[in-house]
Amino acid sequence: MKKLLTLGFALASVMASAQAFNGKGDQKFQVGANIQDRGTGIMATYDYGIGENMSIGVQSNYILGTHRFYDGADFYEKFDLKARFNANIGSVMKLPTELDIYPGLDLGLHNFGGHVGARYFFSDGFGLFTEVGFAIASYDNHLVGPEHLNNQFQWNIGVSFNL
């Protein structure tokens, strides 16, 4: 019983110190799965806090397993790189410090888009995130075949780290 009580206090102290967004100077790295129609891949983001509730960053996606739908998809159609801006509004919404909600905009190789995400930190350095992304304006109005990759609704899920 004593060990269980000690473990409970240790977990509570770790949970109490977890903070999803710390404002200016905060750094986050996220890695996870990118799921979209006719393609699933890997993704990574890096965000840097530039203000109390704002961050900028970069995101990269690479879609795997497209041969079942798009036999001729090349690297450029599978790969995307985006600059991103987030409004980290967890504190504005008076959410617990372990939770952050962040709508944002991104400018990528394939389109101008938006995203809405949430991250929850279990400790000071480790958490989980989920994010949905969508194209607002594509650079090409006549997308054909694999050009739809990275130009459509996508769902990201994975782990988040404080740096």
**Closest by Cα among 88, 71, 82 to 21:** 88
Number of structural domains (the chain) is: 1
At residue 16 the predicted structure's pLDDT band, cuts being 50, 70 and 90, is very low
Q: Output the domain CATH number for residue 75.
A: 2.40.160.20
Name the pTM for this structure: 0.83
Q: Where are the alpha helices (DSSP H) in the chain?
A: 2-17, 75-78
Q: What mean pLDDT comes out for the span 56-67?
A: 92
> 77-129: per-residue pLDDT in tens?
999 999 999 999 998 999 999 999 999 999 999 999 999 999 999 999 999 99
What does the DSSP 8-state code read for residue 13? H
Q: How far apart are CA 7 and CA 17, in angstroms?
A: 16
- The two tokens of residue 116 are 């809405």
Q: Give the range of the structural domain holding residue 74, as residue numbers without chain letter.
A: 2-162
